[in-house]
Amino acid sequence: MEYRLLGGTGLRVSRLCFGALTIGPLQAGLSPEEGARVIRSALELGVNFIDTAELYGTYEHIRLALRGWPDPVVIATKSYAYTREGMRESLDRARRALGRECLELFLLHEQESAETIRGHWPALEYLLEAKAKGWVRAVGISTHWVGCVRAASRLAEVEVIHPLINRRGLGIQGGSREEMLEAIREAARAGKGIYAMKALGGGLIREEVPASFAFLLAQPEIAAVAVGMRSVEEVRLNVHYFAALGGEGGAFPPEEVAAWERKVAAAERRLVMDEGCTGCGSCVQCCPQGALTLVGGQVRVEAQRCILCGYCGAACPRFLLRIV
């Protein structure tokens, strides 16, 4: 496994970051014990970086995976809190649930612009105070928006940016793939640590996995790539791809890789909607991609826009939306 320094944070992270959204209740719905087994298999293969968020509901999975693990692991989490008090609660909850005195990375979740960051400033200030107390090591933002990466790169308080970027440019908001890459370069020049999200556009381009990873790993500004993994086979496959692309040779024999590829391809993800929509619109409001609309009081998904993040599932009061 190859490791990189994450900007100026001093954190050394594996280029493959375990994206913990996928194992949780918004997607595969693994139990904490099952999810811990998947995470642990990644740690055993050299992954030392886990990305989660308060929304994902995977703190317990991660806590169990780390029980007795002897080596340092970098955990990044995120919160939508925008007030000081809200962020204090989020950080307390994360530290308690993960059983850690200090969280390596705490991000403002899903920022959209300079204005959104300004609106979250009290929460950001609280994180900076928490950093001074040793409760957080570095502070940052996650975003799907090109303009937000640019805005964050000009803020000294933001040390890490987690932008949406992938080979096909799926899900990027407010600009093209090239414009997002230029914004990322600008951020890296400003000393920000960058780790990418939605490398596979939420799983839509699974058949192009090695090429998609190769595209991101070839960008020198991107220290690591968060990839959602929900099975031990998927972990091994991704470790194999990263090792091969990093010039270390494949990590596993070709026949094992071929068997895992078949298994993972057979378990493609999709968004399902159960009956019973009341047309309340909560999911429409929360979709970062504008993929949901209400038609005749019923929600409709535009599959080409959906990046399978599962956030709509958390917003639905009737639990009708799920990634399977």
**Residues near ligand SF4 (CB under 6 A):** 271, 277-283, 287, 289, 291-292, 299, 301, 306-312, 315-316, 318, 320-321
Measured CA to CA, the distance from residue 285 to residue 3 in angstroms comes to 38
Nearest to 94 by CA among 78, 109, 113: 78
Nearest to 290 by CA among 276, 272, 304: 304
DSSP 8-state symbol, 55: G
Q: With respect to ligand SF4, which residue has the nearer C-beta, 114 or 280?
A: 280
Q: With respect to ligand SF4, which residue has the nearer C-beta, 175 or 281?
A: 281
Please, what is the minimum distance in Å from the beta carbon of residue 229 to ligand SF4? 18
Please, what is the minimum distance in Å from the beta carbon of residue 148 to ligand SF4? 17
Burial of 75 (0-12, 13-18, 19+ CB in 10 A): buried
Q: With respect to ligand SF4, which residue has the nearer C-beta, 144 or 192?
A: 144
Q: With respect to ligand SF4, which residue has the nearer C-beta, 30 or 292?
A: 292
321 alpha carbon, distance to own chain's centre: 20
The size of the chain, in residues, is: 324
Please, what is the minimum distance in Å from the beta carbon of residue 279 to ligand SF4? 5
Please, what is the minimum distance in Å from the beta carbon of residue 171 to ligand SF4? 7
Q: With respect to ligand SF4, which residue has the nearer C-beta, 32 or 313?
A: 313
Q: With respect to ligand SF4, which residue has the nearer C-beta, 160 or 321?
A: 321
Measured CA to CA, the distance from residue 291 to residue 287 in angstroms comes to 7
Please, what is the minimum distance in Å from the beta carbon of residue 298 to ligand SF4? 7
Please, what is the minimum distance in Å from the beta carbon of residue 321 to ligand SF4? 5
Measured CA to CA, the distance from residue 213 to residue 194 in angstroms comes to 15
Sign of dihedral through CA atoms 57, 117, 90, 199? Answer: positive
Q: With respect to ligand SF4, which residue has the nearer C-beta, 209 or 283?
A: 283
Please, what is the minimum distance in Å from the beta carbon of residue 319 to ligand SF4? 8
Dihedral Cα 199, 202, 208, 210, nearest 10 deg: 40
Distances (CA, A) of 293 to 273, 300, 305, 312: 13, 5, 12, 12
Phi/psi for 46 (5° steps) reads: 105, -5
Please, what is the minimum distance in Å from the beta carbon of residue 28 to ligand SF4? 14
Measured CA to CA, the distance from residue 48 to residue 75 in angstroms comes to 8
Q: With respect to ligand SF4, which residue has the nearer C-beta, 140 or 310?
A: 310
Please, what is the minimum distance in Å from the beta carbon of residue 127 to ligand SF4? 25
Distances (CA, A) of 118 to 121, 155, 184: 5, 11, 20
170: tokens are: 């799926």
Q: With respect to ligand SF4, which residue has the nearer C-beta, 217 or 291?
A: 291
In sequence order, what are the residues at sequence separation of 6 or more whose Cβ sits closer than 8 angstroms to the Cβ of residue 279?
A: 294, 297, 298, 299
